[in-house]
Structure 1
Amino acid sequence: MAGGLRRAGRIARRGFLIGSAAVVGGVAFGAWRYTRPLPDPFLGLLEEDAVALTPYVVIDRGGITLIAPRADKGQGSRWVQAALIAEELDIDPATARIEPGPVSPAYYNRALLSENLPFVPTDRSWLAETARAASDIPARLLGLQLTGGSSTVPDGFQKLREAGAVARETLKEAAARREGLERADLATEDGAVILPDGRRIAYADLAQDAARIPPVTQVVLRDPAQWRILGTRRRRGDIVAKSTGTQVYGIDLRLPDMLYATTRSAPLGGEVRVLDASAAEAVPGVRQVLPIGGGVAVVADSTWAAFRGAEALRVEMLPPDRPGEQAEIWESLAATLEAGRIDSRNRDDGDVGAALDGPGAIAAEYRVPFLAHAPLEPLNATVRVTAEACEIWAGTQVPDFLVARAAALTGLPPEAVRLHNQMIGGSFGRRLEIDFILQAVEIARAVPGRPVKLTLSREEDFAQSRPRPAQIARARGLVGPGGIEALDLAIASPSVMASWFGRVWRSPPGADISIVAGAWDQPFAIPAFRVSGLRAPETVPVSSWRSVGASSNGFFLGSFMDELFAAGGIDPFEGLLQLCTHEQSRAVIEEARRLSGWTGRNPRAGRGQGVAFCLSFGVPCAQVVEIEETERGLRLVRAVAVADIGPVLDPVNAEAQLWGGMLFGLGHAMNCQLTYAAHRPEQQNFFDHDAMRLPQCPEVEVRLLENGPIRGIGEPGVPPAAAALGNAIFAATGQRLRTLPFAGQIRFA
């Protein structure tokens, strides 16, 4: 499929498919809802005499290629996308090639926009549902091909299955016409059409015929009871490669005549002044030292030589004009709370002021630190720039933004920029940023015609981190005999959306709903309940981190509700169930109580359980953590997580995502933070941004319920974890911890 860039004839059909065209050597099928087709993403990109009809399934005589356009960051998204298509196409996805496809508005992400509307996920009213459906219009017009927000599965659940079904039925129609039969009399199995007499015609042998007939667009999707791939417990197709070190990531790429590079950059908005490059240029293998925007690059014959050269540079960092010390950052957040300028207040039930004006109100302040993304695969990108084209080999979650920025940087038209999106060895939000890839483009421009692989050292990755923001929350509440009567939560945070969009595209207008996500949208009927988001000035450029705003708000709200329950002598599970108005969430909470063997607060001295709940990305998730005091410190004994993501398409992988999200949240709550001095994070590598070690890992049990609509599970396991751990610490020790990380305040075994 990645052959010469040849243009071929194209017939634009108005109807179900996008950019349909007749072919000789291949055919591609896909599904669509609108009558006006979007541009054919494969036009000019397939082998000679092959044209893509639609985006998701390509068939040629060499086999079948399934297009999985959402980035795979290690969470297995390519496989589940392929499985959705393969289930209806009637093939084993393990027998197909799975590729990310080209950058195209045909692969726009509708689900990501619909989840960011100012409606709580539990709101199924006509207005909320109409707004969610209408979000398809701007999503389609903008053509944003983003991966994020646990949206891959909900975005592809319908359209990828339709793509496979359209392909299957069109191939059957082609066989029926060839054999003089009725399509209804034919069947399919393992990539072949089965004739009534038992003969099999391989899909590849029908591709040419199928391309010349109108696609069959009226299809019926298989009932889940008939699924043979989806919903079954099977080994994911990439597990062996990822488990044996044979999976190819961007960092593994080798091209002929390739150069290697690394960078040293100033904090974003600052500059680097090279004082002396002579020692760097004397390092064996170093070719040149190049100034680039905001930094300096070292180009060499190997990554090791580039790293050695960068270390030998004598440079002066000219800082940006903003606070650069951690104390100043905390002061800025506190001042934001004191000023009281509201960015959003989507939850304002009852008269909070009157309810909290009398005696008995409880107040608390919580803090969370900056956190690095710290993906295991070092940040890297390979780029080749010529006068005619720019080719990029890199893993990214924002391919369309990257292509647009690379085109502007090189002066080339966007169609001359070709991205080969790579398998990604971890992201947690870092691959939403394109800074390092644009650096590689800038370096490659200086050596035209030669591919250059840029690799950042771990220390440079930390130094250039666009972290999860530090935040302060202040809470007040009142608890009575009937439970929580009032709760007021104010959250001060810089805007992730303004910061990130301002770097990759343009800052959006209006409030940043991510500041209050995971707090205002919780399914709790508290008589007086108010959640306010206050936008703080940007002191450090920030970005999305796994579960975004809910990662901190799950800690704030989950911890403070537990404080109120404790003050009122209320069992936390009883308190949550009393307030919860959402049946799916209630079922999750009840299952977490059953699965954890909940014994109540303070079951015995030195041992305690804590529970927390958070609804994020439409997924209700409850977690219970059990700890015990030992001579070496607190030890995590057991952790339980229950979530409802609707139909579970890949049970093994979904359970692993919930498991991993909880441990990710627990490990960061225990140990991790970034603190800033002179605009630089003081933490430089994994050793001083250390999450959970294997001996600290508790026994884990997870359970997935299937009562709700289809959802993703990559992020919802994170938000309740810190609160569940903090609540367990209180149950075991009586000590209430309100600042993350917990290490430094207590000791973990």
Structure 2
Amino acid sequence: MSTVTRASRRDFLKIAGTTAGGLFIGFNWFSCDSPKVEVLSTEEILSQAKNFNSYLSISPTGDVVIYSPNPELGQNIKTSFPMVVAEELDADWEKVRVVQANLDTEKYDRQLTGGSGAMPHSWERLRTAGSTAKYVLVAAAAKTWNVPAEEITVEKGIISHKGSGKSGHFGEFVTEAATMTAPEQVTFKDKKDFKIIGTPVKNVDAKEMYTGQPLYGLDFYREGMLHAMIQRAPFGMKIKSVDDAAARAVTGVQEVVTFGNSVAVVGSSTWPLMKAKKLLRIEYEPEGKVESSADHDRIFKELLASGKAEVRRKDGNVDAAFKNAAKVVSAEYQCPFLAHSPMEPENFFAHVKGDKCELIGPTQTPDRARQSAAQILGIPAENITVEITRLGGGFGRRLRADYVEEAVEVSRVMNAPVKVTWSREDELTGGAYRPAVRYKFEAALDESGNMTAYKLRGVGMNAGNTTREHNFPSGAVDNVLIESVNYESSITTNAWRAPITNFLAYAEQSFLDEVALEAGKDPVQFRLDLLQRAKTNPVGELGYDVDRMIGVVQAAKEKSNWGKNPNVKQGFSVYFSHRSYVAQVADIVMEGGTPTLKKITAVTDCGMVINPIGANHQVRGGIVDGMGHAMYGNLTFENGVPKQKNYDTYRLIRMKEVPEIETHFLTTDFDPTGLGEPALPPTGGSIANAIFAATGRRLRSQPFIEQKEFSDIKLDIRRA
């Protein structure tokens, strides 16, 4: 069935040009139901399109230009967004050109990348963009040929009228289309008629990436710009004194600038600045808490045992259920700090020019960058432009604007264009991190092995709520108590891919396996029984769709041949996060006494899949990321400074350590949901549960390789 969305004629603004040119349609997407549309028909306006962030333009040649508004950091949004527009337009994908849009908050209300929310937020807006453009083009053709519009068809950018035998490409009608009026109602295509959506489309930046064309912030260069590298104070410390004489003596260094608790070395290129930065002699003194990882371990245990907790959910009578339980299962799980480790270290260009400022670089939140610069400079935000480059990874790190602020500060002092570049050591020692967390779980079982009560208390950092109190198994158990304790740390923490759930999922899913074992039940069936209870007789609020979760569980059970091969030890995990559902099964085979991780099978329900290539890459990437950090990642602090300063000591997963990954997607009619993050949370649980099935060793802390339970397990990883 087609979908109809309403658009007021008052929201459709025509601007007729004085010269023939392309059709330009710009959209204000603050409302799904009433998008503003502008139709411009001059080459002059088209040439100035960089000033408009949300638009579709069609040249007289029939080429279609689509601007992608959200920052691209590898989640493939720069390809999938235009696919949706082109689908509703019935464009020829071979004639579509995609351009990254710059920041324009008058045109967008969510021009950012984070929380896997870009596609769910923009799905209807994108469809409206394409269908509106198609409407005016068809109307223009109908007027030109003097035929009824309803007799006209559009396919691959060609407009045709069968009765008269007339046809022409989009570009032939752009001038006339500029005189057309927008409809009161825009009709979307029936999903079964999609020809572009659901087909494999290669990344629109693929050629530029593999031929080394400039795309990323690190690629940006402007004649005459200065470079800066910065030494930042340890967490909890402030600068007491600076001796920069040796740094200034390095050839290529022009200036040393101190601002806040940072010292910037400024010069002609990064190489002399890296040398000079090491020659700075900076003395620090305490400003607040100067923390070490050993302190966190002690504090978290104390907070778990204390009465200082915020109740996030309470169903039934938990105390009575535990008092009357036939068996109680309890366990604690903990995880360390993690770095975001994007391939491209932080960098940004700033040029402060009086009461104006130009910003260029990789950011997940361009408006935050602009607002931060405005606050530093004391100028209106509208005086600041932000050009977004492709991001070489982000994973939440580039939600912050600290590195943008540094570029602004140095440019202001130097009165010159400046590009700030972080080294890999800067990234690991002066950044923002996935916070350490500790959870305590308890479950009450009756004589039949049914879970009658469930308790979770979490202690985290700078996050407020460390739980997802409405996620499974909440709603499936009569008596539930979920509490959260927040610890304010001087160490800067930040959203890290799949915030909160990146570790919570592992802990919850591992604990549910522990409970299933004590109940004497198959782990998958144990979850299915709970989900059936949530479906037939839910308790309290459900934050998940029970049927969709059951769907991925059953599909993963089938695709992985769960329990059918006695020689394969399997671990199961399922999680809902960022609107999507992912179930995973890890397979381990004992070879010569060594547990060998052979395969991970993943089933995903993310609604309609826009681009199978991009979707497959996202799930595989999430699994590799989840596995690598569960197995190896660990960042520890001593006196406010990370001990691990580069990849020689901060362990990342290696190519040879990636097992076979088999991906499946459920075919559903749901609108697209998030996919950049949901595949990561279940991964640690599936592997840990498989390790237990193979060895009898329960892993309750990450990274796995540093746990005593893992010390004599020589886990091998081989592609089947």
TM norm structure 2: 0.88
Partner residue of 2:675? 713
Partner residue of 1:479? 445
Q: Is the Cα contact below 8 Å between 2:26 and 2:54 reproduced in 1?
A: yes
Q: How far is the alpha carbon of 1:528 from its aligned partner?
A: 2.2
Partner residue of 1:590? 554
More divergent stretch after superposition (310-319 vs 289-298): 310-319
Partner residue of 1:117? none
More divergent stretch after superposition (701-710 vs 303-312): 701-710
Q: How far is the alpha carbon of 1:259 from its aligned partner?
A: 1.6
Q: What amino acid is the match of 2:90?
A: D
**Matching of residue 564 in structure 1 with residue 521 in structure 2:** no
Partner residue of 2:27? 30
User: Residue 173 of structure 1: which of 139, 151, 154 is its match?
Assistant: 139
Q: Deviations over 1:607-644 (max 9, x none)?
A: 62111111111222111112245679643211111111
More divergent stretch after superposition (413-422 vs 238-247): 238-247
Q: Is the Cα contact below 8 Å between 2:27 and 2:35 reproduced in 1?
A: no
Provide closer, same or farther for how the CA distance between residues 320 and 183 of structure 1 changes in structure 2, counting only shifts above 3 A.
Answer: farther
Partner residue of 2:55? 56
Partner residue of 2:538? none
Distance in 1 (CA, whole Å) between partners of 2:636 and 2:53 is 49
Distance in 2 (CA, whole Å) between partners of 1:737 and 1:573 is 19
Q: What amino acid is the match of 1:90?
A: D
Gaps of 5+ in 1: 1-12, 109-142, 497-511
Provide closer, same or farther for how the CA distance between residues 687 and 334 of structure 1 changes in structure 2, counting only shifts above 3 A.
Answer: same
Instruction: Give runs of aligned pairs for residues 488-637 of structure 1, distance below 5 A.
Output: 488-496=455-463, 512-513=464-465, 515-517=466-468, 520-522=471-473, 525-580=476-531, 581=535, 582-599=546-563, 603-604=566-567, 608-628=569-589, 634-637=595-598
Partner residue of 2:320? 354
Partner residue of 1:722? 684
2:88 partner SS: helix
Q: What amino acid is the match of 1:352?
A: V
Distance in 2 (CA, whole Å) between partners of 1:236 and 1:525 is 41
Distance in 2 (CA, whole Å) between partners of 1:172 and 1:105 is 31
Q: Deviations over 1:310-359 (max 9, x none)?
A: 1221222344402411121223323332333333513x333221111245
User: Residue 689 of structure 1: which of 640, 644, 650 is its match?
Assistant: 650
Provide closer, same or farther for how the CA distance between residues 528 and 282 of structure 1 changes in structure 2, counting only shifts above 3 A.
Answer: same
Q: What amino acid is the match of 1:718?
A: L
2:661 partner SS: strand
More divergent stretch after superposition (186-195 vs 479-488): 186-195
Q: Deviations over 1:34-66 (max 9, x none)?
A: 788779899xx9567879899331345584321
Provide closer, same or farther for how the CA distance between residues 49 and 452 of structure 1 changes in structure 2, counting only shifts above 3 A.
Answer: closer
User: Residue 704 of structure 1: which of 641, 644, 665 is its match?
Assistant: 665
Provide closer, same or farther for how the CA distance between residues 48 and 473 of structure 1 changes in structure 2, counting only shifts above 3 A.
Answer: closer
Q: What amino acid is the match of 2:529?
A: Q
Partner residue of 1:656? 617
Provide closer, same or farther for how the CA distance between residues 666 and 296 of structure 1 changes in structure 2, counting only shifts above 3 A.
Answer: same
Q: What amino acid is the match of 1:485?
A: T
Q: Is the Cα contact below 8 Å between 2:28 and 2:36 reproduced in 1?
A: no
Structure with the largest fraction of strand: 2
Instruction: Give runs of aligned pairs for residues 70-81 of structure 1, distance below 5 A.
Output: 70-81=70-81
Provide closer, same or farther for how the CA distance between residues 260 and 224 of structure 1 changes in structure 2, counting only shifts above 3 A.
Answer: same
Corresponding pairs, count: 682
Indicate the percent of aligned positions where both proteins have the same amino acid: 30
Distance in 2 (CA, whole Å) between partners of 1:556 and 1:589 is 18
User: How big is the alpha-carbon RMSD for the aligned residues of Structure 1 and Structure 2?
Assistant: 3.0
Distance in 1 (CA, whole Å) between partners of 2:13 and 2:631 is 52
Q: How far is the alpha carbon of 1:561 from its aligned partner?
A: 0.6
Instruction: Give runs of aligned pairs for residues 315-334 of structure 1, distance below 5 A.
Output: 315-334=282-301
**Matching of residue 642 in structure 1 with residue 603 in structure 2:** yes
Q: How far is the alpha carbon of 1:384 from its aligned partner?
A: 1.6
Provide closer, same or farther for how the CA distance between residues 619 and 738 of structure 1 changes in structure 2, counting only shifts above 3 A.
Answer: same
Q: What amino acid is the match of 1:425?
A: G
Q: What amino acid is the match of 2:596?
A: R
Instruction: Give runs of aligned pairs for residues 234-633 of structure 1, distance below 5 A.
Output: 234-246=201-213, 248-267=215-234, 270-273=237-240, 275-346=242-313, 348-358=314-324, 360-448=327-415, 450-480=416-446, 481-496=448-463, 512-513=464-465, 515-517=466-468, 520-522=471-473, 525-580=476-531, 581=535, 582-599=546-563, 603-604=566-567, 608-628=569-589
Distance in 1 (CA, whole Å) between partners of 2:573 and 2:426 is 36
TM norm structure 1: 0.85
Provide closer, same or farther for how the CA distance between residues 199 and 415 of structure 1 changes in structure 2, counting only shifts above 3 A.
Answer: farther
Q: How far is the alpha carbon of 1:174 from its aligned partner?
A: 2.7
Distance in 2 (CA, whole Å) between partners of 1:464 and 1:94 is 44
Q: How far is the alpha carbon of 1:94 from its aligned partner?
A: 4.8
Q: Is the Cα contact below 8 Å between 1:518 and 1:549 reproduced in 2?
A: no
Q: How far is the alpha carbon of 1:443 from its aligned partner?
A: 1.1
